Amino acid sequence: CYRPTDKSKVLDGRRAHFGGNLSLTYSDPVMLVRGWKHHLFDEWGRPYLDAYNNVPHVGHAHPRIQAVAADQLKRMNSNTRYLHPAQTAFADKILSKLPDQFEVCFFVNSGTEANELALRLARAHTGAKGMVTPDHGYHGNTNAAVAISAYKFNKPGGIGKADWVELVDVADDYRGTFKRDDPDRAQKYADLVDPAITALTERGQGVAGFIAETFPSVGGQIIPPKGYLPAVYKKIRAAGGVCIADEVQTGLGRLGDYYFGFEHQGALPDIVVMGKPIGNGHPLGVLVTTKEIAQSFDNGIEFFSTFGGSTLSCRIGKEVLDIVDDEGLQENAQQMGSRLIAGLRALEAKYDCVGDVRGMGLFLGMELIHPDGREATEICQFIKNRMRDHRILIGSEGPKDNILKIRPPLTIEAEDVDMILTVLDKVLAEASQG
């Protein structure tokens, strides 16, 4: 039903009717009309390897997701004001993946909404307003979510930092102040929270909590040194705050060794936020917390989301989590991630412009640099676009946009990994020739 000539019409239509800050990836954008597992197909039917999108967690167009969605839409789709077993089945499934202290789930429509709600819960529980968060973070697109997302408010044209927010450096031990050769770097990064707490207290904001992407993604695919989060959480709790783990990018098995990123850190958050992959493309956000925090929020004012926790959403969300288990996708993320990272490290040894390779499972980054160590934004953009010419989709990230981001659906296979590495080798050779 799509004609190849439609692409230019779609592009013209976008330019005419959509806001200019709705960005398009690639200098020659792709139009994608079908998907299957970790493959996408354009208007000509040409295949692309999807090594970038984390939303299709269990793969594009998964037949089991199609089946439950069709089945539920045939029956009915309603909201949480009526009983339905799909709601409790989804909650039980999520809670089975979390430590016992998590007992209460809230269902919303996006990661943004889940983070907004996390702020409300933290404030209801503590009576304070102030939030501490790492620099360059992203938590969503609404007013309060932007206010805790330095990636948005701190850019030229951004709204600037609110007086209830304090930023701390990202625990980036490649480029940050405390490097990998410093055995105390986790504690040193955590200590930066102390002045942030003092500043919020002095301004009369109090400390409602700390929110961080467990592994900062837009900050540059960073894996904080082990022990960082427990040390931060200790300080935040001592100041009366609540600890929020934004696991939108890192949760649900992507990391291979861990179902959630906070497990790697040996940290126990008070609130966990999930989004993107949990609906595999269906809009879905989830917040889980303790009974105690949920009770503080249960203050007589109804909480309701028309679509959050709809029958359809609950069935899809549970199916996604079941597929991760049934198809061994966390194990696959571990195996394919190890294969990828080994190959990326070999490329790091071969090319001077590769400064660092980092990540875990299928959450990976390759930092491109100039000979003097400065961030090589143009090399990164060149590589991203050349990979697209070879029909491999990857992204770029980081404050200077110089980190290649590889984050495929968890269905990716060994041949695909080898193709990424072979093509990346070729493209890095081109980039190195200038």
Segment contacting ligand PMP by CB under 6 A, of 12-20, 79-87, 151-159, 246-254 = 246-254
Q: How far is the CB of 249 from ligand PMP (least distance, A)?
A: 5
Three-state DSSP class for 132?
strand
Distance of alpha carbon 154 from alpha carbon 150, whole angstroms: 5
Say which amino acid occupies 92: D
112/423 with CB nearer ligand PMP: 112
**Do you know the residue count of the chain?**
434
Q: How far is the CB of 113 from ligand PMP (least distance, A)?
A: 7
Tell me how crowded residue 321 is: count the other CB atoms within 10 A of its CB: 22
98/431 with CB nearer ligand PMP: 98
Segment contacting ligand PMP by CB under 6 A, of 123-131, 173-181, 225-233, 244-252 = 244-252
Q: Taking the alpha carbons of 116, 118, 119, 123 in that order, is the dihedral positive or negative?
A: positive
Q: How far is the CB of 361 from ligand PMP (least distance, A)?
A: 16
Q: Which residue is nearest to ligand PMP (CB)?
A: 111
276 contributes a contact to ligand PMP by CB under 6 A = yes
How far does Cα 177 stand from its chain's mean position? 24
166 contributes a contact to ligand PMP by CB under 6 A = no
* Member of 50, 116, 166, 246 binding ligand PMP (CB under 6 A): 246
397 contributes a contact to ligand PMP by CB under 6 A = no
111 contributes a contact to ligand PMP by CB under 6 A = yes
Q: How far is the CB of 282 from ligand PMP (least distance, A)?
A: 11
133 contributes a contact to ligand PMP by CB under 6 A = no
- DSSP per position, 138-173: ---SSHHHHHT-HHHHTSTTS----TTEEEE----T
185 contributes a contact to ligand PMP by CB under 6 A = no
* Member of 140, 206, 343, 355 binding ligand PMP (CB under 6 A): 140
Distance of alpha carbon 377 from alpha carbon 322, whole angstroms: 40
Q: In this structure, are residues 207 and 344 in contact, taking their beta carbons and an 8 Å threshold?
A: no
Site for ligand PMP in 292-311 (CB under 6 A): none
Q: Where are the beta strands (DSSP E) in 45-164?
A: 47-50, 104-108, 130-134
Q: Taking the alpha carbons of 303, 321, 141, 10 in that order, is the dihedral positive or negative?
A: negative
213 contributes a contact to ligand PMP by CB under 6 A = yes
**Residue of 277, 279, 274 whose CA lies nearest to 289:** 274
Site residues, ligand PMP (CB under 6 A):
110-112, 115, 138-140, 213, 217, 246, 248-249, 275-276
